[in-house]
A and B are shown apart, each in its own frame.
Chain A
């Protein structure tokens, strides 16, 4: 327990030297990076499924399936770009 005041003092010094906004970035970005891998695959699957659903509905197979697939792949790349851009802006 003798070390507690020193520890508190050290924590205060840290807070004064480093703005909370800066210390925070790694945790938020860590979460986003964790999420990104899954979102890449999901974007392609969602695009493909929407395309398949439209084709089944209107009966234009395979036009919208292909369009959906291309849009899904584009959305996957857009996701990377979007997350990177927003993270760097902060």
Chain B
């Protein structure tokens, strides 16, 4: 029987904390990132090997986009954007590995036997996506404050341009800011969770309802490859939106300064690229 659980299922108790299967997924994604970082930072050479290039490529690619979009202060938030992109990408793709969502223990719920998987992709849990959206939310607020000052930020957020409009504009502004947080978290959760449900349904239909061997391989295969693309696109959207919010929150300086800075950038652009790859 097909069973879809919208919340992450608890696996065991660790002191006061309940460990859920999506937490296992998040820890797996973190371990993968840490191992990759540990191995490749230790073995990194200036002339990259084929494996090193493979690992450096997504980092360099994301960092180049941040450099192109991020304006003058791009270096202060590039690591955050790259980290978010790679972590979300792995958290999404973990759901596509064999055994994730299919290996677990059975439990009887309302008279039906249901499977509780040991691992669930972290992004298919709203707690994870909301936590990540909070990181991104506080990052753009924090960077905005750091560059412009606390008073400037508070004034911009809570006091409207003609001061008498403040009682009306402040709630509107707060609702608008809250919608960023919720749209970031719900978009990622909705897409990855829907993907998981779609895969489970297709597998159930082609194996339990109508069993034709070629179909049982072919149909879930199509959806698996689609999920591969969706996982990538959602990680990209999450990272780029964080970047776009930060870019809009960090005030730019005047044009004169910009052109001077720009001239200096040209001289150093080529020399910064290898440093990026090593990061």
Contacts and interface: CB of A to CB of B under 8 A. Distances in A.
Contacts of A75: 171-173, 175-176, 179
Nearest to A90: B252
B180 A90 contact: no
17 contacts: A20-B262, A21-B262, A24-B70, A24-B71, A25-B69, A29-B244, A31-B241, A31-B243, A35-B180, A35-B241, A39-B176, A39-B183, A71-B175, A75-B175, A78-B172, A78-B173, A79-B176
B244 A79 contact: no
Given A15-B266, A31-B241, A79 B179 contact: yes
Contact of A46 (B65, B179, B240, B252): B179
Interface in B166-202: 168-169, 171-173, 175-176, 178-180, 182-184, 186-187
A25 B68 CA distance: 8
Interface residues of B, number: 35
Given A24-B69, A27-B68, A90-B252, A82 B176 contact: yes
B172 A21 contact: no
B183 to A, nearest CB: 4
Interface in A14-32: 15-16, 19-21, 23-25, 27-32
B269 interface: yes
A43 interface: yes
B171 to A, nearest CB: 5
Interface of B: 65, 67-71, 168-169, 171-173, 175-176, 178-180, 182-184, 186-187, 237, 240-241, 243-244, 247-248, 252, 258, 262, 265-266, 269-270
A63 interface: no
A51 to B, nearest CB: 10
A34 interface: yes
A78 B68 CA distance: 28
A4 interface: no
Interface residues of A, number: 35
Contacts of B171: 71, 75
Contacts, number: 92
Contacts of A23: 68
B243 A28 contact: yes
Nearest to A38: B183
Contact of B178 (A34, A46, A82): A46
Contacts of A30: 240
Interface centre among B67, B69, B241 (most CB of A within 10 A): B69
B176 A16 contact: no
A86 B178 CA distance: 18
Top-8 shortest CB links A-B: A24-B69, A75-B175, A31-B240, A24-B68, A42-B179, A38-B183, A43-B179, A39-B179
Given A31-B237, A50-B175, A74-B172, A39 B244 contact: no
A47 B171 CA distance: 9
